[in-house]
Amino acid sequence: METENKKLWKDTVVFMQEDIKHQRNMFDKRDLDTVKKNESYQVIAERCNDFLVSSDLVLEELIRYPIFMEKGLECDDVQCDTYFTNYESTFEEEIKTHFERYNELKKAFTDQLL
């Protein structure tokens, strides 16, 4: 069973990936000699690549998440319940961190274009 939040997160991660690809393409279409020599462009391009790789990992985790959490429904002791509760909290924090990285990357793009 997939919660609404998890579906929204998946949709958001897919959107973020497309947006970052679009932003990177906008950079690539600018005056290449000027842009590619610019150190901050190099840093942003590397951050884009890192973000896209981590987005793929986040999407994989979001796809596996409901299957993994179903095992938690079968818990019959406190230790098992605690494990799945902690996993869910950690997972949600990782998603929030990923969204924050996206916002920081978008700001870096905007700052570079202005």
Report the pLDDT value the prediction gives residue 98, as an integer from 0 to 100: 94
* Residue 24 dihedral angles phi and psi, to the nearest 5°: -65, -40
Q: How many domains does the chain have?
A: 1
* Predicted confidence (pLDDT) per residue in 1-35, tens digit: 457 888 889 899 999 999 988 887 777 666 555 55
* Predicted confidence (pLDDT) per residue in 34-68, tens digit: 555 566 777 888 888 999 999 999 999 998 888 88
Mean pLDDT of the 69-85 span: 88
Q: Above pLDDT 90, what percent of the chain?
A: 37
Domain that residue 11 falls in: 4-113
Of the candidates 52, 45, 51, 44, the one whose C-alpha atom is nearest the C-alpha of residue 111 is 44
